[in-house]
Structure 1
Amino acid sequence: MFLLRPDKPETEQDEAMFDASYKLFCERIIRQRLLVNNEVLRMGQLRKAFIDMVKANEGVDASNYRQDLLKKRLAQDFPQLAFHMPTKRNVCELVFAETLSKDALVDMLPDPSGTETTQSSELSQTDSDNETGRTKCQTTHEDTRTLYTAALFLKRLLSDTPGMSCPWPPTSENVNVTESQTVVPIGLYNLLSWIIGSTEEPTLDHYVNIDDDVHLKVLSVCQDIVYLASKGRKQTPKSLALGLTVRHLTGSSRIVSLLNRLGHCASWDTVLSLDTSLAQLTLVEVSHHS
């Protein structure tokens, strides 16, 4: 029976492949482009550059070389590199020096479309940088204008929202989920529903239809915004009901005041006034029946 040295794991063999081209790749691309020039490149671009370099220097087709193996190899050899995965699924992972400032990172970002380069291993630096800069500035300006316009539209809606119209003090008939929806503008409700991905129905003609449990959460956030936008002058079913409930459960003015400062419920004075008014209303109703 022979004792044989076990073969290296397949991953180790793969990582050690194309060593000469890898060293050249690290010198020209990683050290020069990322660490010295402070560029931001995508993992797909780095893999393409590495494959091209192997083909040019060793005459070997390395198109099967996996991107995760190259990333692991780079992470081990260059701990000063940072890897960032954008939220968009169709955009490849970004690679850059961790010392890169936030402002410089924004300026150096590749084309937001996520399209991978098909150019040589040198990545056509001048043309790519110029095109990236133009696209990034245009996209950022347009996004900012769109968001700002939407914010002004919602601000106008919130300003025109009358708030609760029932007589004081509001009773259980006025402080419920159904009445909560009447103080929330359709545009605000639908926007939050779109933001969290609960619906893709593009309409402002009516409240979009979402799951009941999500509906309560969206309605809650919307009421907070209505209350905040009016600086507490427009009460909502949530601001009153939550404050009154916490007062009855805890009797703590500090907890109610804390929730009020966070924008979730009415002030302690308002809650106390509501509680007193409801008690007086109850006494009047009892005296009428007796």
Structure 2
Amino acid sequence: MLIRFRNIHDYWFKGLLSNQKACYVRNNHGRGQQHCMCLSCIGRTNELIRPFSEASWAKFIECVEKWKSLDGLEKEVAMNFSPECQDNIGFHVKCYRRFTDKCRIAQAVTRIEKGRPRLPVPHVVEDECNDSIDKETEPPAKRSLRSATGSHSISGGKRRSVHVLPPMCLICRSVKRMNDRKTGKRIEEKLTSCETGESLLKAAEVRQDEELLVQIRGQDLVSIEVKYHKSCYRNYTRCLEKPYEKKDEADSDVMYTPSFKILCTNVIEKRIFDGGEVLRMTALKNLFVKIISDTEHYDASTYRNTAFKKRLVKKYGDRLQFIRPHFHECELVLAQTKSRSQVLNITPESESEDEIEQCMQESTASSSSEVRDIFHAAMQLHDVIQSADFVSEWPPKAEDVTLQRCQEVVPVKLFNFLAWCTGASTDFCPENYVKVSDDAQNKLLSIGQDLIYLSSKGRKTTPKHVALGMAVRHLTGSSSILGLLNGLGHCTSHSQILQHDTALAIQQLQGNGIPPGFQEGVFTTLVWDNNDFGEETLTGKGTTHNTNGIILQRMQDEVSSETQGSSTSNAMVNIAKSKQRTLTLPPSDIIEYHGKPRHGPAPPGYDCFNCCV
């Protein structure tokens, strides 16, 4: 069925739709009457009508014959089709694909074989042709449950409590994109969860943002899961930052006013204006700093040259001129009456060879005198280090490697010199140790012991070198680490550490078994127990099994002479130093024990002797 409109160039074709019986598609080409079969359209279509080719026409005729024996809307299209109008009709690509879809045809065949008729589509009249979308394939709407009442639904169908805000930026309420620093692509900026919220609440109150305050005032922002973009939060809370207060130039001019007046009177006016001298900017600024130190007793070494120059320009204006002979040289300050040529003639670059040689000799003499002073100071410190003689018992014990013992080893002059060199102290104290922090004191004592160990070529073992070597050996057991530390001069060698350990064992064997400080013949309480660490190993080996004990003795005010003699006999005896690195345990005979029947105490009134007789 053809319908004509007032515009003779508008031709429309009657086809079947999924939601209406007739669809008219406009021919935009104006090349005569063309028709298109629109099988399911729910939106406007601007697709052009294409003419049939031989292959597409043959395919279309084949599908028409198949749809005639099937059901559905495609059957109605096939029954109303007339092959005589081939030259006057065309097709939409989507409609053609839908009509010739093999899967749809196979589904229709299966549906007829199983006796399941196709559900009818309600008739809905529309004025425009729509895009083809199969409504029959849409899943049915999910049934809403009563448990979902009173909850917010967000993307993904997840349920959220009414007391929790949706996962969106609370400030901009939109999706924000940013440039990725690595790839340069536009990516979506991630949301950040609120941790405290104090700044956000203060910023909202300052801005009087009632729309935001309604949601967060009186609420715990962490529990309601407030989220925002970092950039939005930074811009929103910027109002809380302390505003930048530009310093008034008049305030900088007030600083060091008495010293500045002295400089102007004695240097600028007398030497530059009256005497015609030319001074460098750095020298003039150093004079100003020295005047401040002498008159006002302030350290103005951080006073900038730019501020000083601006102050001179503000006071004298054009009367002073500043000339830089070369870009890498300091500025020259001189009176306005001098010309640039006169300045260049008196600059250090134009001095005579004799003057230059004289300056070189003076600088060399001054530098050599400084080096000579350093040499004499080093020789004095060398004598101090060589005279540091301390008697060290062998083998060293725990009381020989304490911090107090380290202070006794390092001389006072060496310690103070290191403190002054490193800036740990600026106090002059020739007789006692200067006061430094605990952290600095430990480091200075360590450096001082390294100097003593280096000066003696390892013959004087300081507490640091003994303790560090023994601690590293017990913690790691690695001779390589000990070799590295010994090569850098931080501890004794691995061989000396083994000698020290062996000497301690020999000292224990030579004693009577009573620990130092305890007395023989006094009532003693002993408490011993095993302390096993169950480390998880693959084979069960390598676990730690210790036996710890406690010895208790009551202290007595008056001790008998016998007790005193016994107490002195159990003290550790010093042994001669040797190069023994191993120890052979003395043989010990184990007494054999043979088991016997167990016997308990006899009951009361039972004479065991008479019974046996």
Same fold (TM over 0.5): yes
Q: State the partner residue of 2:382.
A: 155
Q: Output aligned runs, 1:1-290, within 5 Å.
A: 120-122=343-345, 123-125=347-349, 126=351, 129-130=356-357, 132-163=359-390, 165-284=391-510, 287-288=513-514
Give the residue type in structure 2 aligned to 1:168. Answer: W
- In structure 2, relative to structure 1, the CA distance for the partners of 1:245 and 1:180 (3 Å cut) is same
> 1:275 Cα deviation (Å)?
1.5
Whole-angstrom distance in 2 between the partners of 1:255 and 1:280: 26
Whole-angstrom distance in 2 between the partners of 1:117 and 1:219: 49
- In structure 2, relative to structure 1, the CA distance for the partners of 1:206 and 1:117 (3 Å cut) is farther
Q: Which stretch of the first structure deviates more once superposed, 115-124 or 153-162? A: 115-124
Q: State the partner residue of 1:82.
A: none
Give the residue type in structure 1 aligned to 2:360. Answer: G
Tell which structure's C-alpha radius of gyration is larger.
2
> 1:208 Cα deviation (Å)?
1.1
Deviations 1:36-58 (A, max 9, x none): xxxxxx9959x9xxx9xxxxxxx
- In structure 2, relative to structure 1, the CA distance for the partners of 1:64 and 1:138 (3 Å cut) is closer
Whole-angstrom distance in 1 between the partners of 2:319 and 2:333: 16
Q: Which stretch of the first structure deviates more once superposed, 173-182 or 116-125? A: 116-125
Deviations 1:205-263 (A, max 9, x none): 11111111000000000000000000000010001011111111111111111111111
Whole-angstrom distance in 2 between the partners of 1:43 and 1:183: 51
Give the residue type in structure 2 aligned to 1:189. Answer: F
Q: Which stretch of the first structure deviates more once superposed, 214-223 or 203-212? A: 203-212
Answer whether contact 2:401 2:464 (CA < 8 A) is retained: yes
> 1:284 Cα deviation (Å)?
4.7
Whole-angstrom distance in 1 between the partners of 2:363 and 2:331: 16
Unaligned ranges ≥5, structure 1:
1-41, 52-59, 75-94, 97-114
SS of residue in 2 equivalent to 1:288: coil
Q: State the partner residue of 2:114.
A: none
Q: State the partner residue of 1:91.
A: none
> 1:279 Cα deviation (Å)?
2.9
Whole-angstrom distance in 2 between the partners of 1:194 and 1:178: 21
Whole-angstrom distance in 1 between the partners of 2:332 and 2:366: 20
Q: Which stretch of the first structure deviates more once superposed, 214-223 or 120-129? A: 120-129
Give the residue type in structure 2 aligned to 1:121. Answer: L
Whole-angstrom distance in 2 between the partners of 1:211 and 1:129: 48
Give the residue type in structure 2 aligned to 1:157. Answer: V
Give the residue type in structure 1 aligned to 2:485. Answer: L
> 1:118 Cα deviation (Å)?
5.4
SS of residue in 2 equivalent to 1:173: helix
Answer whether contact 2:416 2:434 (CA < 8 A) is retained: yes
Deviations 1:156-181 (A, max 9, x none): 11111113x13111111010111011
> 1:193 Cα deviation (Å)?
0.3
Deviations 1:256-276 (A, max 9, x none): 111111111111111111122
Q: State the partner residue of 2:85.
A: none
Whole-angstrom distance in 1 between the partners of 2:364 and 2:402: 47
Give the residue type in structure 2 aligned to 1:275. Answer: D
Deviations 1:72-96 (A, max 9, x none): xx5xxxxxxxxxxxxxxxxxxxx59
> 1:64 Cα deviation (Å)?
7.7
Answer whether contact 2:406 2:445 (CA < 8 A) is retained: yes
Whole-angstrom distance in 1 between the partners of 2:450 and 2:386: 14
For this pair of structures, how many residues does the alignment match? 193
> 1:183 Cα deviation (Å)?
1.3
Unaligned ranges ≥5, structure 2:
1-279, 284-304, 310-317, 335-342, 521-613
- In structure 2, relative to structure 1, the CA distance for the partners of 1:235 and 1:197 (3 Å cut) is same
Whole-angstrom distance in 1 between the partners of 2:320 and 2:425: 44
- Computed over aligned residues only, the root mean square deviation of the Cα atoms, in angstroms, reads 3.4
Whole-angstrom distance in 2 between the partners of 1:190 and 1:236: 19
Whole-angstrom distance in 2 between the partners of 1:219 and 1:116: 47
- In structure 2, relative to structure 1, the CA distance for the partners of 1:121 and 1:286 (3 Å cut) is farther
Higher strand share: 2
Whole-angstrom distance in 1 between the partners of 2:404 and 2:321: 60
Whole-angstrom distance in 2 between the partners of 1:117 and 1:148: 38
Answer whether contact 2:452 2:460 (CA < 8 A) is retained: yes
Give the residue type in structure 2 aligned to 1:156. Answer: D
TM-score (norm 1): 0.58
TM-score (norm 2): 0.29
Q: State the partner residue of 1:92.
A: none
Give the residue type in structure 2 aligned to 1:140. Answer: S
